[in-house]
Structure 1
Amino acid sequence: MSTTDTTPPTSGVVAKLSTLDRLLPVWIGLAMVAGLLAGRLIPGLGDVLNAITVDGISLPIALGLLIMMYPVLAKVRYDRLDTVTGDRRLLWASLALNWILGPALMFALAWLTLPDLPEYRTGLIIVGLARCIAMVIIWNDLACGDREAAAVLVALNSVFQVIAFGLLGWFYLAVLPGWLDLPTTDLAVSGWQIAKSVLIFLGIPLLAGYLTRTLGEKRKGRDWYENRFLPRIGPTALYGLLFTIVILFALQGEQITNRPWDVARIALPLLAYFAIMWAGSYALGASLGLGYERTTTLAFTAAGNNFELAIAVAISTYGATSGQALAGVVGPLIEVPVLVALVYVSLALRKKFIDSKVRSAARMGDI
């Protein structure tokens, strides 16, 4: 979906994307390469970028995340949220996918593919526990998903993240391996640490988006807000995304380029995880009759992960040079291009949903 168009067309979506959106994979690829090269070629860059941190995250990354999320949350129609909260099929499906299937799938894949590499295995399990609250909003918006549903599901994930992250970490790293006669690992992370991450990286842009819409519509009207203000701020989300990617890969460029085989080993279960979660969630949403927009939202909110939180937890618990931290860093290296590709897959599937709806209506005599 074009970030400058609040009412995307129902056919030929990919062909009608703005240049910025249509070439998004290219921009993201260039951002990743630029970050990796900067991290390798500029001495002391990592120290400068990490000089100031926000909840364990480099200040430039924190700013990028906030800039990235604000425009999309400003687009949300908060007066429509009740239509989402009343959809119990969507809510229960999201909770089951995010907090039962997702962590269990990552645990299984980590042990199946990395039985001899405990540090990377632990790092991947931590990634699986950190459910997405940030970039999923961008992917959902680009794929023309339901913005209001995305806001509700992200908020729901955030609440569960504060409550469940520590408990699930203890279960998957200490309890379940013991039951299966596998080596156990400890994970020291406080609920307050997770709550701070949620409040900063979701709470601030969510509040800003809500206040912007409320005050903007009150003073200028909905027509001005939807057709003049939103198109102006829309591209900012992608600029924030690209900036965040450059900084993130600049900070970890040396680790990634110095250990290519390790990166490949970590990438394999991640690729399988994203593909299985997205495809399975999409199939579930379609079978439940959620329609294209909410099926898309369900798939992206289930497949995405909060790698910012995973990296912060891994670094604070095991150290910045640990295998656990490297596994967290490889997460966005794989997740970003894969989910961008899935945006285009989703847009291609959109026509099938529309055609199916038209055929069903025709059979019922509605057209």
Structure 2
Amino acid sequence: MSTADTTQSAVVAKLSGLDRFLPVWIAAAMVVGLLAGRWVPGLEGALNAVAIDGISLPIALGLLVMMYPVLAKVRYDRLDTVTGDRKLLLSSLVLNWLFGPALMFALAWLLLPDLPEYRTGLIIVGLARCIAMVVIWNDLACGDREAAAVLVALNSVFQVIMFGALGWFYLSVLPGWLGLPQTDLAVSGWQITANVLVFLGIPLVAGYLTRRLGERAKGRDWYEARFLPKIGPVALYGLLFTIVILFALQGEQITSRPLDVVRIALPLLAYFAIMWAVSYAVGKAAGLNYARTTTLAFTAAGNNFELAIAVAIATFGAASGQALAGVVGPLIEVPVLVALVYVSLALRRRFTASTTEAS
């Protein structure tokens, strides 16, 4: 067995049973959520009964629980090594805010030319860059946690600044230039800001304070060897809970329109695969190591479906085609990015082999 194969086997062997069979648990969570949303009377109303600025409280809680352990693992004293990496930061900005929205616009028009509502919904998904679940995929793929924290924060700032402007450009201006039908998008700046503050700000502050206070009280060795292993599984429990709730809320829409879901799924599949592959190639070409290349790929490929769904519902209504397109987003994104976690771990062998040859 080669050194690269041994390294890959060691990585897989370190995964817990929960991590190793994550695709199974996620598939089960999706099925449970879809069936519950379809067959449990009044469930959707109960889950939406408590909302914060249009965000369902159960989803918000699930995301907070999911993100907190990962952000508690970040070594915040090392963030300066990431902010000084101009190749990483520039690559992330270009991929997230130039290439990503343009790619989704092209795929939506190419594959859904006759379905304007779904097309608009997909373009909105492409504009909402990921600030939540990406930290889970990055962690599972052994990406750079500190780099992920910085890039997610960067996406959050740009999301507040750029989402409305890009929505106007891709739905109203660019179609007009190309002689295509135009769409208006009314976006609340407060809604975007609230989304960022809830899904990133709260767990980020909690993670930072936990590490700072824990290391001060017990030391770094105790914090990383004793405390972090105890809270680590909580992130995946939060992920599975979030998936169940999300699909329970939208179960009837998804299961009652299967052919529409298939049409929407095709450009989404192409989008996630192309974004991840191009981002990975960019990281490799820029000379980034495995951890930062992986982080670049996942932070560019993921999308903030919570924001996309909220904006689609607020602008076009809960029963609109735009909202359905936003709902199908995580239905496709979750299993695809889980699969790409395993692809990343397999590609880790090439980085290991390259490093061995260079030395």
Q: C-alpha separation between the residues in 2 aligned to 1:191 and 1:98?
A: 19
| Structure 1 runs, 4 residues or longer, greater than 4 Å off | none
1:227 paired residue number: 225
1:214 paired residue number: 212
2:66 paired residue number: 68
Scaled by the length of structure 2, the TM-score of the pair is 0.97
2:8 paired residue number: 11
Residue 36 of structure 1 contacts residue 254 of structure 1 at CA under 8 Å; is this kept in 2?
yes
Q: C-alpha separation between the residues in 2 aligned to 1:128 and 1:29?
A: 24
2:256 paired residue number: 258
1:364 paired residue number: none
Identity, in percent, stands at 82
Give 5+ residue unaligned stretches, structure 2.
1-5
1:11 shift after superposition: 3.5
1:162-203 deviation digits (Å, cap 9, x = unpaired): 000000000000000000010000110122210111011100
1:247 has 2:245 as partner: yes
1:277 paired residue number: 275
1:140 has 2:138 as partner: yes
1:112 paired residue number: 110
Specify the code of the residue in structure 2 equivalent to 1:165.
Answer: F
Residue 8 of structure 2 contacts residue 346 of structure 2 at CA under 8 Å; is this kept in 1?
no
Q: C-alpha separation between the residues in 1 aligned to 2:48 and 2:23?
A: 27
Q: C-alpha separation between the residues in 1 aligned to 2:15 and 2:53?
A: 36
**Equivalences for residues 21-170 of structure 1 within 5 A:** 21-170=19-168
Specify the code of the residue in structure 2 equivalent to 1:43.
Answer: P
Q: C-alpha separation between the residues in 2 aligned to 1:46 and 1:190?
A: 24
1:241 shift after superposition: 0.2
2:340 paired residue number: 342
1:194 paired residue number: 192
Specify the code of the residue in structure 2 equivalent to 1:206.
Answer: L
1:78 shift after superposition: 0.2
1:104-140 deviation digits (Å, cap 9, x = unpaired): 0000000001111111000000000000000000000
Aligned length: 353
Q: C-alpha separation between the residues in 2 aligned to 1:200 and 1:110?
A: 30
Residue 215 of structure 2 contacts residue 223 of structure 2 at CA under 8 Å; is this kept in 1?
yes
Q: C-alpha separation between the residues in 2 aligned to 1:199 and 1:295?
A: 27
Residue 8 of structure 2 contacts residue 345 of structure 2 at CA under 8 Å; is this kept in 1?
no
Q: C-alpha separation between the residues in 1 aligned to 2:54 and 2:143?
A: 31
Residue 130 of structure 1 contacts residue 309 of structure 1 at CA under 8 Å; is this kept in 2?
yes
1:301 paired residue number: 299
1:10 shift after superposition: 4.4
Q: C-alpha separation between the residues in 1 aligned to 2:236 and 2:274?
A: 26
Q: C-alpha separation between the residues in 1 aligned to 2:61 and 2:280?
A: 32
Q: C-alpha separation between the residues in 2 aligned to 1:284 and 1:248?
A: 33
Specify the code of the residue in structure 2 equivalent to 1:171.
Answer: F
1:308-365 deviation digits (Å, cap 9, x = unpaired): 100011111111111000000000000000000000000001111111101111xxxx
Q: C-alpha separation between the residues in 2 aligned to 1:70 and 1:342?
A: 23
Q: 1 or 2, which has the higher helix percentage?
A: 2
Q: C-alpha separation between the residues in 2 aligned to 1:129 and 1:38?
A: 30
- Cα distance, 1:191–1:304 mapped onto 2, change above 3 Å: same
1:17 shift after superposition: 1.4
2:353 paired residue number: 355
Give 5+ residue unaligned stretches, structure 1.
1-8, 362-367
Residue 14 of structure 1 contacts residue 344 of structure 1 at CA under 8 Å; is this kept in 2?
no
Residue 68 of structure 1 contacts residue 241 of structure 1 at CA under 8 Å; is this kept in 2?
yes
Q: C-alpha separation between the residues in 1 aligned to 2:248 and 2:190?
A: 28
2:3 paired residue number: none
